[in-house]
Structure 1
Amino acid sequence: MTTTDPAPSRSSSWLPRWDPNDPAFWEAEGKARAWRTLAVTTFSLTLAFAVWFMVSAIVVRLNDIGFSLSQGQLFWLTAMPGLAAGITRLAHMFFVPMYGSRHTLTLGTLSLLIPAIGWGVAVQNPNTSFTTFMILAFLAGMGGGNFSSFMPSTSLFFPKKMQGTALGIQAGIGNFGVSLVQFLTPWVVGVNLFWFLGSDSERWTWAGRTSDIWLQNAAWVYIPWLLLGAALSWLVVRSVPIKANFGQQFAIFRDKHTWVMTSIYMMTFGAFSGLAAAFPLLIKNLYGGFENAPLPLKFAFLGPLIGSAVRVLFGLIADKTGGAVLTSISAVGMAVCALLVTPYLTPSSLEQFPLFVAAMLGIFFFSGIGNASTFRQMPIIFNPPQSAGVIGWTAAIAAFGPFIVSMSLSAITAATGNARLFFYLLAAFCVLNLGLNWYFYGRKGAEKPS
């Protein structure tokens, strides 16, 4: 990809030339800038994921501090950020080619201050309505939307041979934001971090015990870091001089491989993000009624932690082995683990809890492999700037995962009394995508070997 400055007058934001596939250019100028940009954007993307998933860590405690929300309403609050993420990702996929990385990433990070501040205020008011919580949950989903501008931007900065590594690092570490928020929340809510703002504690009751917590900290703790991320994005990031209008971007939808990869990525990241959002509430609903019930966030963070770490590792491996074979392994592993979960969805004792968690962690493990391998496949299957557009589009659709998973679990549980049908359907979807991946990308003589 060789590019020239589309607007010399905007040289402070736009690079005059960018050709990472030219070895001389890469060594002389490209490598240092690309890795420096990746460090800043990965930091900001991690925060974006934390804001996106902070709702899943907050809702499990709302009723325990005095709110009276039904199980259906709690699932709606868990689902709403996924709906918002999918919708806003559809917009974000166009931003980088049209407005550049610097402006898009800076403003995208700043926008997350709105839900971070709002949730901290709302949980302190016992009269906060369900409608207000729904609006704030939607706004938190803007953090998920950032993915579809951050990732396409990164794909433009690195040569094709390093796409799997770069995108695997950014997406994998960014995904740590999910685990971070679920791990960090139980710790930060136990301390009055923002005493200087006059924040009040809430009475938290769990398993017959009562204590003071500051649930607002679960949102406010990210405010200073978001400000830092926005400042770094503006100061460090520059825009690659590649421009595309809406017509050029929409050309990706005439390629059947766009739709095939959308289905495959929905299997991997859709399941990862959806189950990450629903996992804490699933633990509470299934095992919260037993004596000495486990704290949901004590175990829920392990799923996204494993999936994120695997994504980083297998991004490196995918550059060596190719993506298609790893995607097939991902599909098989996810299908098997989804079936292994089903016996533990109607528990009779806490003895079944470790097996339930193990099977769920298996789904996260294999989804992490697929999340890495698919992002190796897309830059090979498509040429820039189409590859950036496809990455943004598939990420947008997969971001609906939390909405689809949470709503499906709620509806299926209400209709059948348990969630087994959901996991049967997940296993079937994995088998379908195993066939698509093998036929188009994995078999001998495949149309687009990747």
Structure 2
Amino acid sequence: MTTISQRPSNSSHSPVSVGHRIDNWDPEDEAAWEAGGKNIARRNLLGSILAEHIGFSVWSVWSVMVLFMPAAVYHIDAAGKFFLVAVPTLVGAILRLPYTFATTTFGGRNWTIISALALLVPMTLTLYFISRPETSYTTFMIVAAFAGLGGGNFASSMTNINAFYPQRLKGWALGLNAGGGNIGVPAIQLIGLLVIATWGNRSPQIVCAVYLVLIGIAAVIAALYMDNLTDQKTDARSLIDVLRFRDSWIISFLYIGTFGSFIGFSFAFGQILQLNFLAGLTNGAPATPAMQATAALHAAQIAFIGPLLGSLSRPLGGRLADKIGGGKITLSSFVAMMAAAGILVVAGTVDDATPGAANTAIMTAYVVGFILLFVISGIGNGSVYKMIPAIFAAKAAALHTLDAPTAAAWSRTMSGALIGIAGAVGALGGVGINLVLRASYLGVHKSATTAFWVFAAFYIVCAVVTWTVYLRRPTASTPTPADALTHSLTNSFER
């Protein structure tokens, strides 16, 4: 897939941040980039990663809270907990759309501060209500919904960093930004593990207190070290314009398979492990509080590993896509995810045939299958997001009448818009995963096996779509009707 070539520059001056404000930022200007632009971009990247990291932690806080909610005390069964975890996923997915153009409205630095401080609301509410088991299920759902504020941070952060980096480095930069943010999921799970191991499964408020402090730190660092770019152009109209392109729909669909898997399994993995450990401990007998605490501890000891490895592998996916191609890495990821889901299908089928058996081999297969899904989905996340700027750079280059600055600006605008849309749609995949798991546990076997079959089938569909659109005929998605492209360009630069 072709991209806009790096152009030489007549500039000899380093970009300057005055009052945390930068005018006429051009990451494709090689001289300005080497003269100090890359240091500014790196500084903003680091601040963005921290804020997004905390956002992901808050978004996934209820995947940890449910480990502190034994059914005998809170009177919420497994199906109810899966639904409870799905609520913030849904809210976060929806918020990603307005968050996409928030950085252009308020400025990247300003919005990072605002969105970070907003996280104080869900953490304060969680701290208050999680210590009150008599709270109604409806209230818990409302409180969990506020945690969705953390999910929106991803879209604004990625759109902001996309504007800071040149085309040749976007895969690595976006992968690093997203991966560092994604690590917020295992981070809060690890803190939950430390709390359970030290104080037992009845002290969830400690987790919330830790993050109230971290939220304040993230906001202060954003205020001190980040900048606003005055020439960013992603706005609400851009979200409409970008949907005129078929690739926008295809990329969003593929991101359901990669990021939807990562975030959905991140929220559900601990609970699945807890249910399986508890089944092994009880062997069909009623669970005692001691058994529930032991199962929660065992689950917490493993649950954070998957999201951690999936987060670390995301920059690798971006780097591989930079060198090999986003389409090839994405296809390979879906094929590997099909195999990993197959491991879960086999393990689940065997487990259903021997309910209540404490089978080490089955539990090992579950852990291995999920860990593989996390790692591979992380790689796929990086490769899919690398495809976004490459696609629109190619589309802009197809109009030879455009000068390079106009083409680059339009490409950044469309890429930023699609980053938000794909992020929102992909997060909805996480909702789907938890709802499918909920339905599966309500089934005859009260297990996740049916859900595993659904996941495997979906990965097959994603692999076929990737091969058909981006590999079988690699140029099939590049040509765009001239009137559609011209209309979008006109909307971007004449309003």
Q: TM-score when scaled to structure 2?
A: 0.81
The answer for the alignment partner of 1:396 in structure 2 is 424
> 1:441 is matched with which residue: 456, 460, 470?
470
> 2:279 is matched with which residue: 285, 289, 296?
289
- Within 1, Cα distance between the matches of 2:31 and 2:477? 29
The answer for the alignment partner of 1:209 in structure 2 is none
Contact 1:42 1:174 in 2 (8 A): yes
Contact 1:278 1:402 in 2 (8 A): no
Contact 1:286 1:345 in 2 (8 A): no
Contact 2:242 2:248 in 1 (8 A): yes
Q: How does 1:42-441 map to 2 (within 5 A)?
A: 42-63=49-70, 66-189=73-196, 204=201, 213-240=202-229, 241-291=231-281, 295-345=298-348, 347=351, 348-351=357-360, 352-382=362-392, 383-417=411-445, 418-441=447-470
1:104-153 CA-partner distances (Å, limit 9, x unpaired) = 11111111111111111112223222122111111112111110100111
Contact 2:314 2:378 in 1 (8 A): yes
* Bigger shift: residues 346-355 or 274-283: 346-355
Contact 2:234 2:414 in 1 (8 A): no
Contact 1:378 1:391 in 2 (8 A): yes
Per the TM alignment, residue 99 of structure 1 is displaced from its structure 2 partner at its CA by 2.5
The answer for the alignment partner of 1:21 in structure 2 is 28
Contact 1:307 1:366 in 2 (8 A): yes
Contact 1:252 1:390 in 2 (8 A): yes
* Bigger shift: residues 156-165 or 233-242: 233-242
The gaps in structure 2 that reach 5 residues or longer are: 8-16, 282-293, 352-356, 393-410, 479-495
Are the structure 2 counterparts of residues 65 and 12 from structure 1 closer, same or farther at C-alpha, using a change threshold of 3 Å?
farther
Per the TM alignment, residue 65 of structure 1 is displaced from its structure 2 partner at its CA by 8.1
Contact 1:189 1:216 in 2 (8 A): no
- Within 1, Cα distance between the matches of 2:214 and 2:72? 27
Per the TM alignment, residue 229 of structure 1 is displaced from its structure 2 partner at its CA by 0.7
Contact 1:89 1:396 in 2 (8 A): yes
Fraction of identical pairs, as percent: 31
- Within 2, Cα distance between the matches of 1:21 and 1:411? 49
Per the TM alignment, residue 312 of structure 1 is displaced from its structure 2 partner at its CA by 2.2
* Bigger shift: residues 414-423 or 367-376: 414-423
1:305-351 CA-partner distances (Å, limit 9, x unpaired) = 11111112232222211211110110101111111101222523332
- Within 2, Cα distance between the matches of 1:428 and 1:350? 27
- Within 2, Cα distance between the matches of 1:95 and 1:260? 24
Are the structure 2 counterparts of residues 244 and 321 from structure 1 closer, same or farther at C-alpha, using a change threshold of 3 Å?
closer
Contact 1:334 1:366 in 2 (8 A): yes
The gaps in structure 1 that reach 5 residues or longer are: 3-9, 193-202, 205-212
* Bigger shift: residues 433-442 or 85-94: 433-442
* Bigger shift: residues 183-192 or 47-56: 183-192
Per the TM alignment, residue 21 of structure 1 is displaced from its structure 2 partner at its CA by 0.6
The answer for the alignment partner of 2:489 in structure 1 is none
- Within 2, Cα distance between the matches of 1:81 and 1:445? 37
Per the TM alignment, residue 33 of structure 1 is displaced from its structure 2 partner at its CA by 0.5
The alignment partner of 1:153 has SS state of helix
Contact 2:305 2:371 in 1 (8 A): yes
Per the TM alignment, residue 442 of structure 1 is displaced from its structure 2 partner at its CA by 2.3
Contact 1:283 1:296 in 2 (8 A): yes
- Give the superposed CA RMSD: 2.1
The alignment partner of 1:415 has SS state of coil
Flag as ranges the 4+ runs of structure 1 deviating above 4 A: 189-192
> How many residue pairs get matched?
424
- Within 2, Cα distance between the matches of 1:290 and 1:434? 36
Per the TM alignment, residue 296 of structure 1 is displaced from its structure 2 partner at its CA by 1.1
* Bigger shift: residues 155-164 or 351-360: 351-360
Contact 1:20 1:26 in 2 (8 A): yes
Per the TM alignment, residue 448 of structure 1 is displaced from its structure 2 partner at its CA by 4.5
